[in-house]
Amino acid sequence: MKYFIFMILSFHAMSETLSQRYEKDKYYYTALNEYFLETYDKHKSKEDLERLERLLYFTGIELLEDYETKLLEQYTTSSTSFILGRRFAQSKQYKKALSYFEKVHEEHRYFPETQLSKSKIYGDQAESLKESEALERCKASSVKQENQIESVKIKRYYRMIFEICQVSIARELYKKGNFRESINAYDKITKNSYKWPYIILEKAWAYYQLGDYNRTLGLLLTYKSPLLESYFFPEAEYLAALSYFRLCLFEDSLIIAKQYDQFYRPRFTELYKVLDKNRASQNYFYGLMFNSTDESKNNDPFVKQMISRLKKQIRYSLDFNTVFKIDQEIKKILEIQDKAERYHLLKHLISVKENMINKINYNTKTDIFNFLESVPFFSSELFKVNLEIISRKRDLVYEKHDLTSNRSRGDYSNVKRSRFEQFWTFEGAFWADELGDYSLGLKSNCELKEVEGSREGQ
């Protein structure tokens, strides 16, 4: 009898594939690799596909970003369909992308993200109705997934997806010129959200389009609070200068342009130096993110602030998490007694980790570079505002006119507010609950008055 049981057990062990064994031992990344080696040229049963989904649940899909399209196309799971859909969307093959997104199951964990990606495609194709529908589905499914999950981190992920979809709705309304509705949609994002500091600028634009320049300036003032120190946007400076210009407060506009020149230019130079010196490096920016290099410790606070802002992106959390889990698996593999097996497994995992580090490095570099691109653009736009101010001032001189302002400008009567908003005067301190609700009370200076004595002089 004992012999019989032993026979059954050893038969079962023999029938177990290598990937199954690794999976059982919780070497998920190693198991995933073995899984593809075992199945790529075979018929994939339902169990095989279910097992892939299970493995991807533990590893995440970040690793598959580098896998060949032809290989992934053989595996018809929601996860692989999502990856392929994103890949085709990035190369603007929208029809193919949408067909893959359709294959993502409604209950699947990537369904909310799929809807967000679909909305982006419909937005690019100017299919407004389909875009709105996808965004609504994105929101509903995010809330559903958020409620089902126990893990705080994953809950936060779904909250972020929800907020990005909500902001997308606000942006769509802005694009259509429905600025008031757009502001209402932005207001649905709470102040403790990761997205909130970013939407201040967008809301400020919406108020600008409504002609409420005082509210625009008030919103942009929020960026001056110590809490939002790491959020600096050249566009916010430009919009403030533009709003002062629309209020014909030319001197204030010129001050902003001057400050911009003094504040951003040296920091721009500093960042450029960092980028240029390490342009070809495969891991410098990764080190910068972890503050692990000696050089990064000496960096300008501006660079540090920017890095801390980038770290708050979902992408970095997911990628760092993957690197962390790979490290854990490497530690476990180091405990394997068989030297040959240990060497074989480590070799694979180290190359996987290297790929992930390269990816983080590349994304950081790209983000910094994209930011740098916006600096010269808004510098030139500010310069145009300057020119326009000079031109207006010259016209005033020619026409023997002056602007009305006597510089005692702030007044409550100039503040536009809804019946739900309270009014408190600013006492020089930024209170957290007040952030984002500021409004200046400036009187428009655009009314003309004749220069005294101009008639007599003629």
Least distance between another protein and beta carbon 108 (Å): 15
Q: Among residue numbers 18 through 47, which ones bind another protein (CB under 8 A)? A: none
- Eight-class DSSP state of 33: H
* Whole-number Cα distances in Å, 301 to 256, 298, 304, 361: 21, 9, 5, 20
Stretch that binds another protein, among 24-32, 70-78, 161-169, 405-413 (CB under 8 A): 161-169
> What region does 190 belong to: left with phi over 0, alpha with psi -120 to 50, or beta?
beta
Number of residues that bind another protein (CB under 8 A): 37
Provide the 3-class DSSP secondary structure of residue 42.
Answer: coil
Beta-bridge mates of residue 401: 450
* Whole-number Cα distances in Å, 116 to 122, 156, 300, 457: 10, 17, 36, 67
Using rule CB under 8 A, residue 385 touches another protein: yes
Least distance between another protein and beta carbon 157 (Å): 9
Using rule CB under 8 A, residue 164 touches another protein: yes
Among 19, 80, 168, 222, binds another protein (CB under 8 A): 168
Among 228, 314, 330, 375, binds another protein (CB under 8 A): 314
Residues 99-138: x where in contact with another protein by CB under 8 A, - otherwise, as a string? --------------x--xx--x--x---------------
Least distance between another protein and beta carbon 21 (Å): 30
Q: Among residue numbers 214 through 253, which ones bind another protein (CB under 8 A)? A: 238, 242, 245
Q: How far apart are CA 458 and CA 335, in angstroms?
A: 97
Least distance between another protein and beta carbon 20 (Å): 29
* Whole-number Cα distances in Å, 429 to 9, 77, 315, 432: 73, 54, 34, 10
Least distance between another protein and beta carbon 314 (Å): 5
Among 51, 86, 215, 365, binds another protein (CB under 8 A): 86
Count other Cβ atoms within 10 Å, centred on residue 45: 10
Using rule CB under 8 A, residue 425 touches another protein: no
Stretch that binds another protein, among 7-15, 43-51, 386-394, 425-433 (CB under 8 A): 386-394
Nearest to 196 by CA among 238, 245, 231: 231
Q: How far apart are CA 219 and CA 200, in angstroms?
A: 6
CA atoms within 13 A on the CB side of 97: 19
Q: How far apart are CA 250 and CA 201, in angstroms?
A: 22
Using rule CB under 8 A, residue 161 touches another protein: yes
Q: Among residue numbers 172 through 211, which ones bind another protein (CB under 8 A)? A: 174-175, 198, 202, 205, 208-209
Gyration radius (Cα) of the chain, Å: 29
* 448-450/401-403 β-pairing: antiparallel
Q: Among residue numbers 264 through 303, which ones bind another protein (CB under 8 A)? A: none
Binding site for another protein (CB under 8 A): 62, 65, 86, 113, 116-117, 120, 123, 160-161, 164, 167-168, 171, 174-175, 198, 202, 205, 208-209, 238, 242, 245, 313-315, 318, 370, 381, 384-385, 387-388, 391, 395, 398
